[in-house]
Structure formats: structure tokens, C-alpha cells
Amino acid sequence: MKSSPATYGRSIATSLLAFALLAPPLAAQAPARTFDVRAFGATGDGHTIDSDAINRAIDSAAAAGGGTVHFPAGTYASHSVRLRSHVALHLERGATLLAADTANGRGFDPAEPGAGNAYQDFGHSHWHNSLLWGEDVEDVSIVGPGRIDGAALRRELSRDVPGLANKAIALKRARNVLLRDLTIYRGGHFGILATGVDNLTIDDLTIDTNRDGIDVDACRNVRISNTSVNAPNDDAIVLKSSYALGAPRATEDVAITNSVVSGFDVGSVLDGTYRRTTERAPDRDGPTGRIKLGTESNGAFRNITIANVVFERSRGLALETVDGATIEDVAITNVTMREVTTAPIFLRIGARLRGPAGTQIGAIRRVTISNVVASGADPRYASIIAGLPGHPVEDVTLRDVRLVYRGGLSLEHAAKQPSELVNTFFRPPDGSGPREPFTVPERAAMYPEPSMFGVLPAYGFYVRHARGVRLDGVQVSWEQPDTRPAFVLDDVRGVDLRGVRARRASGASLLELRGVEDVRVRDSAPLADVTLARVARKSY
């Protein structure tokens, strides 16, 4: 017989009561223990070095089986703080953990022995020379709403200098790590360096720093969300896959969502002034502040999602494999960019091959980029998809992308390469005169940046050494007339242009094809619908 609503409700209530009677009372459940750093001798006066007291509190929490180490409001001048398993650090509002100056070679923990190879930079090979570090730890969290200030951290540290450090937070071979509700100011060479970390959550952080904001290296199952990173002198959020653990390890299953990256002067996002005058950019390419995959790229990058991200006064998206890694299964969507200081989109296969003897050239495949809007982009560097001869970028789809460049250049700029436009002159091998505008250098072993090719012969997209490229609903335009072609495709097989639109200056071509096979153009007026089996060289 079917139960009435009243009978059914009484049955649910009886079940819940039985469950409550079987469960232990709340009062009998052991609460998480809290360890106040002041109870262990920390002063929080901004002058006394409190790291010994902080580490005593952490050790006590670990010895008790876990707990929360609490920082009341105050400024805790500190050297290295050593993270322990099952211990959370809580910086309440008004609490600042300050990287303190050092004296007489005493201070931060020394850099431990690294991986014993030369396949990554010094900073990626050491973790203990940091304000906060943890190795082989699990169930660790650092939560706010307090602040970490790396005032005494070095922006550069190319060797082990006693007492000095160059990272705010460094983690090596860790599991189940949570970083939430924090502010990191002046994070040194790395605000956060995570290497070989599985199950990493970074949520609701504000980072305003002098070099890299967040480096995720050889990590798995990573979520970065609701985070703002201002990094004018280096990358804001960067995924890497180096040899720092002694063997290649993939960075995979990563989601970056609902975040902002920028390149304003250090500190000016935190104080709300958004200055753009006092900091010198790391090179002539201008402020960095972007999201990037690479450059360290020994292991693979797999299953990456980037969604709902704002780029402001920074370089664009960069996917780079130059040390043998395969980048595959990447989805990027809902991105807006303003004042882009280099190419809005940069996909690059290179052959730096910094790794063991026999390291092979890597691959990029199965990448989808959609719903991207960019304005104020540097006119020198079109968006770039560039493999190498015999090693094409494969299966790339760009859908609903609208890019506006500042414009004002011509093919003559690409041919002559004036020194005020690029860092390096590109001349024919005999050194005579300007190069032909479509002779773009390969630069296979060069550090990957859009500027590596010089001023490009296209203003919108330059695609070379690629297979299976689809542009669907892609629009490019300029603010000032630019007489270069909108699109240049060189050594590309399998091209599908659908709903493509471009602003074209008087007398300029819209599309240049060189050594292209299997081309289909649809709904891309003024280009006629056409299918071409093979094109040696043709302008439209």
C-alpha cells in the first residue's frame, strides 16, 4: 500500500533520530586543537625574530596528531618556517608573516642538495631556502585572511647564499595542500613554488609580487580559483614540468578559473593605484603578468582547463614546449585581455632540449581556445602558432576569438626590423641588407617569446609548421591602419577557415598562403568559399 505524505515524513524523522542516537555526541568528538604562536614565545612586534617560536608551535601541533597554528593580529618577523603534516596555519586579519632581514650569514634555512642536474634553474632545484617550506608533507593548509610579506626575499638567487632565501612558499612532494584567503606581497623569485604536489587547492589569493606569482611544477590535480596575481617582472601563473625531481613528471589535471592576472607596478594592485611607471619590465617585451605553460618542459602537460580569466597590461596566453614535453588536451575559454604587451596567443614547439642526452622534440596537440576578446595588443607580434619543420603543432581550434591590435605597421617593418621595434636584427646569412618580409627565422633553440621572430609579416595570425588548424568565428582588426596581411599560413596542412573576418587596409592582402595543403574557406567574406588541395604561394 502506498504511504501517505504524513507516514513518509514520520518514517524519515524516525530514521534521522535513530542515526543521531547511534552517532557519538558532538561534545564527545575531539575538536581540532589550536596552538597560538604567542603562547610559544612569538611577539608579533615586527622586530623580534619569531621563527623559533612559530616552529615550536608547529612541532607541538604535529606531535599532538595535528591542529591549527594561530597567528593573532601583529607582524611576525621571521626566517624559515617549516611546515608539518596535518598542521594548518591560520593568519587572522591583521596578522602578517614578514620575511625578516638577515645578518652574519644567519637567517633562512640553506638550500638543500638539489636534483643533481643542470636541466632547470637554481630556484626550481631548491625549496628549503624559503620563508615557508614543506617537503614530503600531507594535509597541510595555510589560510588567511592575513598577509605574507616577503620583504627580505631575493628576486634572484643563482647559488646557495647562507642565510638568504628567494621564495615565499615552497612545497616539494606533498599531498592535500590548501592555500586560501591569503595576501602575498613581494614573494621574491617565487610567491608559490609547488613541485610534485598532488591535490593542491589555491583559492581566493591576492598576490602582488616582484617575480613569478604561482609556479606549479610536476603537479597533479590542481585547482587555482578566485585568485588575483600581479607580476610585472615575470609570469603570474605558470605551469611547468621540469626535471627538478630527478626524472620527468607530468603536470596534469589542472583547472585555473575565475582569476585575474596583470603587470602593474609591484604593490600598486594592493594599494589600488595600479601604477605603470616606476617598475622596469624584465625586457623590451614589456610587463609579463600572464598565464603560461612552459618554459621548463621535460614532462608532459595533460588535461588542462583555463576559464573565466582576465589579463590586464600583460603578455598573452603562452603554451610552450621546448625541452621535449607533450602538451595535449587543453581547453581555454572565456578570456578577456586588455593592453596586451606581446602576442595575445602564443603556441610554440621549440628545441632548446635542456635535458638528458637523447631528449627529443616535444609536441602540442588537441588544443581548443574559445571566447577570447583582446584589445590594445602590441602590433609587432601577431598571435602565433609555430612548430618546427617535421614537428608541427597539431589539432588546434580557435573559436569565437576577437583580437584588436594597435596597428600602424607594414611589411617594410617586418623586412627591415628597425632596432626600436625588436631586440635583435634578422639579416640574410651574408649579412647584406634587409631580409625578405616572409623569411621569418626558425630560432629553434632560442628561449620562447613572441618577440623571438621579430616583427611578423602578419598583423593578426602567423601560423607555421602546423597540422589541423581550425579558425571558426575569428575576427582580427587594428586601431591604426596596418598594411600587413591579416593572416599568414606557412607550411600548414589541413586548414579550415569558417566565419573569419579581418579589417584590411587599402591595398593590403587579407590572407597569404605559402606551402599550404588541404585548405577550406567558408562564410569568410570577402573571401570566396573555396577548397584548395595544394598552394605553393598565393595572396587573397
Higher pLDDT, 402 or 19: 402
Higher pLDDT, 162 or 418: 162
Please, what sign has the CA dihedral across residues 150, 156, 159, 162?
negative
Distance CA 481, CA 407 (A): 6
**Burial state string for 64-98 with b = 16 or more CB within 10 A and e = fewer than 16:** eeebbbbbbebbbbbbbbbbbbbbbbbbeeebbbb
> Given this model, what pLDDT does residue 144 score?
96
Domain total of the chain: 1
- Inform me whether the pLDDT recorded for 192 exceeds 70: yes
In-domain check, residue 146? yes
> Given this model, what pLDDT does residue 495 score?
97
- Mean pLDDT of the 202-215 span: 98
**Burial state string for 165-195 with b = 16 or more CB within 10 A and e = fewer than 16:** bbbbbbbbbbbbbbbbbbbbbbbbbbbbbbb
> Given this model, what pLDDT does residue 339 score?
96
In-domain check, residue 132? yes
3-state secondary structure 300-343: CEEEEEEEEEEEEEECCEEEEECCCCEEEEEEEEEEEEEEECCC
State the DSSP code for 526. T
- Inform me whether the pLDDT recorded for 9 exceeds 80: no
Closest CA to 83 of 176, 151, 166, 13: 176
Ranking 261-265, 430-434, 520-524 by mean pLDDT, the lowest is 430-434
Closest CA to 202 of 167, 248, 238, 244: 238
Distance CA 106, CA 407 (A): 54
71-129 pLDDT tens trace = 999 999 999 999 999 999 999 999 999 999 987 667 999 999 888 899 998 899 999 99
Concatenated DSSP letters for 176-213?
Answer: EEEEES-EEE--BTEEEEEEEEEEEEEES-EEE-SSEE
Higher pLDDT, 15 or 389: 389
**Burial state string for 401-420 with b = 16 or more CB within 10 A and e = fewer than 16:** bebbbbbebbbebbbbbeee
Yes or no: say if 386 and 465 are a contact pair by the CB < 8 Å rule: yes
**Quick one: pLDDT band at residue 471, thresholds 50, 70, 90?**
very high
> Given this model, what pLDDT does residue 100 score?
96
- Inform me whether the pLDDT recorded for 503 exceeds 80: yes
Distance CA 274, CA 264 (A): 6
**Which domain, by its residues, includes 53?**
31-190
The cell for 216 is 606549479
- Mean pLDDT of the 192-209 span: 98
In-domain check, residue 434? no
Higher pLDDT, 29 or 166: 166
- Inform me whether the pLDDT recorded for 476 exceeds 90: yes
**Quick one: pLDDT band at residue 140, thresholds 50, 70, 90?**
very high
In-domain check, residue 39? yes
Concatenated DSSP letters for 35-59?
Answer: EEGGGGT---BSSS--HHHHHHHHH
The residue count of the chain comes to: 540
Give the count of beta carbons closer than 10 Å to the beta carbon of residue 398.
Answer: 23
**Burial state string for 359-392 with b = 16 or more CB within 10 A and e = fewer than 16:** bebbbbbebebbbbbbbebbbbbbbbbbbbeebb
- Inform me whether the pLDDT recorded for 394 exceeds 50: yes
- Inform me whether the pLDDT recorded for 25 exceeds 60: no
- Inform me whether the pLDDT recorded for 155 exceeds 90: no
- Inform me whether the pLDDT recorded for 32 exceeds 80: no
Yes or no: say if 263 and 211 are a contact pair by the CB < 8 Å rule: no
In-domain check, residue 280? no
In-domain check, residue 88? yes
Q: Residue 118 is inside which H or E element, if any?
A: none
Q: Residue 76 is inside which H or E element, if any?
A: strand 74-78
The cell for 181 is 584567503
449-461 pLDDT tens trace = 999 999 999 999 9
Please, what sign has the CA dihedral across residues 150, 152, 154, 155?
positive
Distance CA 215, CA 294 (A): 10
> Given this model, what pLDDT does residue 335 score?
98
- Mean pLDDT of the 356-371 span: 97
Distance CA 422, CA 440 (A): 13
Calculate the average pLDDT of the chain: 90
In-domain check, residue 529? no
Closest CA to 370 of 473, 454, 230: 473
Distance CA 88, CA 82 (A): 12
**Quick one: pLDDT band at residue 439, thresholds 50, 70, 90?**
confident
Q: CA-CA distances (angstroms) from residue 10 to 2, 14, 20? A: 14, 6, 15
> Given this model, what pLDDT does residue 60 score?
98
Q: CA-CA distances (angstroms) from residue 168 to 238, 305, 430? A: 16, 26, 49
Distance CA 283, CA 369 (A): 27
> Given this model, what pLDDT does residue 279 score?
60
- Mean pLDDT of the 168-178 span: 98
Question: For residue 140, what is the domain's CATH number?
Answer: 2.160.20.10
Strand pairing of 530-539 and 511-522? Answer: antiparallel
Q: Percent of the chain scored above 70 by pLDDT?
A: 89
In-domain check, residue 211? no
Ranking 30-34, 151-155, 223-227, 249-253 by mean pLDDT, the lowest is 30-34
- Mean pLDDT of the 170-196 span: 98
- Inform me whether the pLDDT recorded for 132 exceeds 90: yes
Distance CA 110, CA 528 (A): 66
- Inform me whether the pLDDT recorded for 466 exceeds 90: yes
